[in-house]
């Protein structure tokens, strides 16, 4: 759902920043799986549906079409023993949660 919201909002001209942390960040390490396990019955319906692009493709669309910022969590990078170069090229500079929340103070914040 986060990928759909980000791509539609970015394509609509809204400013979009996505903060990837904890379990989400692992999917954006170079060479990682392109799919995540389906969550719930609706996720199962969407999985493999020809009308629903994969979540990583939706995030890429958001970055390409709407200049969305895709920000990896600096603490998660450290905990996983990664470097910024280990991440997919669509992701921006590693960012701390405090900085992300500060920059989002006057924005609508959605969590997934």
Read off the pLDDT band of 39 (50, 70, 90): confident
Please list the residues that pair with 93 across neighbouring strands.
none
Fold of domain 2-11+20-103: Hypothetical Protein Ychn; Chain: A, (3.40.1260)
16, HSE (Cβ side, Cα atoms, 13 Å): 28
Please list the residues that pair with 61 across neighbouring strands.
none
Query: Can you give the residue ranges of every domain in the chain?
Result: 2-11+20-103
pLDDT of residue 11: 93
Q: Is pLDDT above 90 for 98?
A: yes
| pTM (global) more than 0.85 | yes
pLDDT of residue 107: 93
Tally: H helices and E strands in the chain: 6, 2
- Overall average pLDDT of the 78-85 stretch: 94
Q: What is the CA radius of gyration of the chain?
A: 14
pLDDT, tens digit, 9 for 90 and up, residues 52-62: 888 899 999 99
């Amino acid at each position: 759902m986060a990928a759909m919201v980000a791509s539609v909002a970015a394509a609509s001209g809204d400013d979009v920043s996505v903060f990837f942390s904890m379990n989400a960040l692992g999917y954006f390490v170079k060479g990682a799986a392109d799919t995540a396990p389906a969550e719930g019955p609706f996720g199962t319906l969407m999985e493999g549906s020809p009308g629903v692009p994969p979540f990583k493709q939706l995030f890429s669309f958001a970055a390409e079409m709407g200049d969305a910022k895709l920000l990896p969590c600096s603490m998660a990078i450290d905990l996983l023993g990664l470097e910024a170069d280990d991440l997919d090229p669509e992701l921006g500079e590693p960012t701390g949660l405090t900085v992300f929340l500060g920059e989002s103070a006057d924005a609508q914040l959605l969590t997934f």
